[in-house]
Structure 1
Amino acid sequence: MFSEEFNVRFYETDALAHVSNTVLVGWFESAREPIFKLFNPELDLQNWPLILASYKVDFLEQIYYGHKVQVRTYISRIGTSSFDVYQELWQQQIKCVTGTTTLVHFDFKTKQSVAIRDDIKDILLENFYPLN
């Protein structure tokens, strides 16, 4: 599991006094940085090797200003060139949000998917969390 903590900033709250739903996908993306570094250690945007194919977010509880949040990041599926990242957002020991993102190892020059190297698959497997 990869883990990242964030402070909830005041401007991330909305008129209903909880964190805006749009903020959560940003936290999820930020918490995927260790996975990005597996494919691109320098995070070189000129040679980016991944594309986001889809994501789904389920809102379970509200998140509030004044308490840190923790994003727990796992791998829930590994294919030849794509994989699913399963994430949970926790606040005060309560699971508030879950999300699954499909990422594809991709070559922008050829506009084709590329097989994930075995050494990277091994690290992804170390963080595997089966959903079923």
Structure 2
Amino acid sequence: MFKDCVTPRFGNIDGLKHVNNTVVADWFEMGRNGIFRYFTPDLDLSYEKWKLIMVRTEFDFVSQMYYGTDVEIRTYVLSIGNSSFTTGHEAWQDGELKAKGKAVIVHYDFVEKKSEPIPDKIRENLIRHLRNEEDIGKP
């Protein structure tokens, strides 16, 4: 599992004085950087080097998050297919689960415009971060 710490910024707060729900997508994307590095170690976003495309994402907002307290983003792998994998994400603040989500990502060749099998070495790295869905939301 990857863990990252995010400090909510003033601009992340909405009129109800809590973290706006649109911010969570950015935080979860940032949390995937460790996984992205398995495919593109330098995170070079050039068309020829980037090897991933997101095909689905979902979020559940469990409880409100507030300005003034850091948020821990947890990222892990839920499943691995031939050319795709699913990541799981959690946002924790003050020891409580505040949001969770999933993203389906495909190993993709942008030049050829087609999916590709996940290489064995990368698959081994992804397996190290596998987590069962029933463990989501547990400290």
Q: With the length of structure 1 as denominator, give the TM-score of the two structures.
A: 0.98
2:89 pairs with 1:122: no
Aligned match of 1:57: 59
Q: 1:93 aligns with which of 92, 95, 114?
A: 95
Aligned residues, how many?
132
Deviations 1:20-51 (A, max 9, x none): 00000000001110111000001111121000
Aligned match of 1:19: 19
SS of match in other structure, 1:124: helix
2:18 pairs with 1:10: no
Q: With the length of structure 2 as denominator, give the TM-score of the two structures.
A: 0.93
Following TM superposition, the consecutive aligned residue runs of length 4 or more in structure 1 with deviations greater than 2 angstroms are none
What percent of counterpart residues are identical? 41
Long gaps (5+) in structure 1: none
Aligned-pair RMSD on alpha carbons?
A: 0.7
Q: Which whole-Å CA distance do the structure 2 matches of 1:130 and 1:107 have between them?
A: 29
Q: 2:70 aligns with which of 68, 71, 77?
A: 68
SS of match in other structure, 1:45: coil
Q: Which whole-Å CA distance do the structure 1 matches of 2:120 and 2:108 have between them?
A: 16
Long gaps (5+) in structure 2: 135-139
Deviation, 1:131, is 1.1
Deviations 1:75-109 (A, max 9, x none): 00100000000011000000000000000000011
Deviation, 1:4, is 0.3
Q: Which whole-Å CA distance do the structure 2 matches of 1:130 and 1:84 have between them?
A: 12
Deviation, 1:71, is 0.5
